[in-house]
């Protein structure tokens, strides 16, 4: 095999190490508990926000539906 011109093989060892640490390691390390916990908290926060939004939408829907019912009853 010929690796002439390959970006990996033309870089110095320190550059390859840096590239490995910054670009590759995050995909190879799957038991990084700190990162997993942080990610989980972020997901939980977004889910809580979505729950609040959905509750607000449901309340608005119920209010609108009640207003429509009252208007309909008044017309009859």
DSSP 5-71: T-HHHHS-HHHHHHHIIIIIHHHH----HHHHHHHHHHHHHHHHHHHHHHHHHHHHHHHHHHHHHHH
Q: Are residues 47 and 59 in the same domain?
A: yes
Q: Does residue 56 sit in the same domain as residue 76? A: yes
Predicted TM-score (pTM) of this structure: 0.51
Higher pLDDT, 38 or 4: 38
Tens digits of residue pLDDT in 48-58: 999 999 999 99
* Residues spanned by the domain of 65: 31-76
Same domain? For 71 and 60 the reply is: yes
- The answer to whether residues 41 and 71 belong to one domain is yes
Q: Report the number of distinct structural domains present in the chain.
A: 2
Query: Within this chain, do residues 50 and 71 fall inside the same structural domain, yes or no?
Result: yes
Q: Tell me, yes or no, whether 9 and 38 share the same domain.
A: no
């Amino acid at each position: 095999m010929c690796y002439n011109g390959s970006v990996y093989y033309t870089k110095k060892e320190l550059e390859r190490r840096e590239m490995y640490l910054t670009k590759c390691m995050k995909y190879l390390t799957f038991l990084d508990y700190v990162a997993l916990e942080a990610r989980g908290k972020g997901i939980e926060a977004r889910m809580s926000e979505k729950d609040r939004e959905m509750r607000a939408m449901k309340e608005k829907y119920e209010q609108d539906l009640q207003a429509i019912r009252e208007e309909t009853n008044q017309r009859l």
